[in-house]
Amino acid sequence: MGVEDVVRAAGRDHPVIGEITLPGVRKSVGRARTFVRDTVLGRSREPGRGGIGRYGEGAGDAGPDGMTLDDMVTVASEIVANAITHTASGLEDGEVTVVLSAGGGVYRLEVFDDGAAEGRPYVEEEVGAETGRGMRIVEALAARWGSRTCGHRRVVWAEFPAPAAEGRGRARAPFSDRG
C-alpha cells in the first residue's frame, strides 16, 4: 500500500498532487521546501488553472496567493525539520515523506515520519526559549493542523485555504489529533 492509498484510507478524498520521500538528513529540509513550492506552482500553471508568479502576481483560481504559498513552504520546513530532529526519521536510514493534496478549497500538507517513542507533536508553552518554536509557527500559519499514527509512522498534517475558499485569512481551528 503506497502513501496515496494510506491518505485515502485515512479519509482524504482530495487527489494527491505530489509526493516525495527524502532521507532523514538536514539538507532534506531545503529539498522539502523546494518540492512544496515547485509542486504547488506547477499545479497552478496547468492549462485552465490560472497562474501565479513568484510572489503571487497574477494568482489564478487554483493556485494559492503568495502569502499562502510562503506559509505552506515554511510549515513544510518546520514539520520536516521536527521529523528529522525528534523521530526515527533522523536516524541512519531514516526517511520522511511529504505528500501534498488539493481539493474542496483546501491544500493539505502531510509529513510522514518514521515514528517516535514520545507522544504527539505539541506547541511549547515557553515563548522565550531558543528552540521549540516549530509547532508554534505551524499553529500560526496553518488554517488547521494535527497528527495521527499510520502503522509505526506518525503523520503531521496542515491545511491551507485555496483561493476559491471563503475567508482566505489565517483563521484557524483548534488543534485536533483526528486525522
Domain containing residue 64: CATH number: 3.30.565.10
Per-residue pLDDT, 127? 61
pLDDT digits (tens, 9 = 90+) for 29-60: 999 999 999 999 886 555 444 433 333 333 33
Which residue type occupies 80? V
Per-residue pLDDT, 123? 53
pLDDT digits (tens, 9 = 90+) for 86-123: 889 999 999 999 999 999 889 999 999 998 766 655 45
> Is 69 domain-assigned?
yes
CA-CA-CA-CA torsion sign (23, 24, 25, 31): positive
> Is 178 domain-assigned?
no
pLDDT digits (tens, 9 = 90+) for 125-138: 666 655 556 778 88
Angle between helices 66-86 and 134-141 (to 10 degrees): 150
> Is 168 domain-assigned?
no
**How far is the C-alpha of 10 from the C-alpha of 74, rounded, in Å?**
25
User: Dihedral of the CA atoms 167, 38, 29, 16 (nearest 10)?
Assistant: 70
Separation of CA 43 from chain center? 16
Range of the domain at 103: 3-161
> Is 166 domain-assigned?
no
**Domain tally for the chain?**
1
> Is 100 domain-assigned?
yes
> Is 173 domain-assigned?
no
> Is 167 domain-assigned?
no
Q: Which three cell numbers stand for residue 163?
A: 483561493
β-strand partners of 108? 101, 159
Q: Is 117 exposed, middle or buried (0-12, 13-18, 19+ CB in 10 A)?
A: exposed
Using a cut of 0.75, tell me whether the model's pTM lies above it. no
| Residue given cell 507522544 in the structure block | 119
Per-residue pLDDT, 170? 47
> Is 68 domain-assigned?
yes
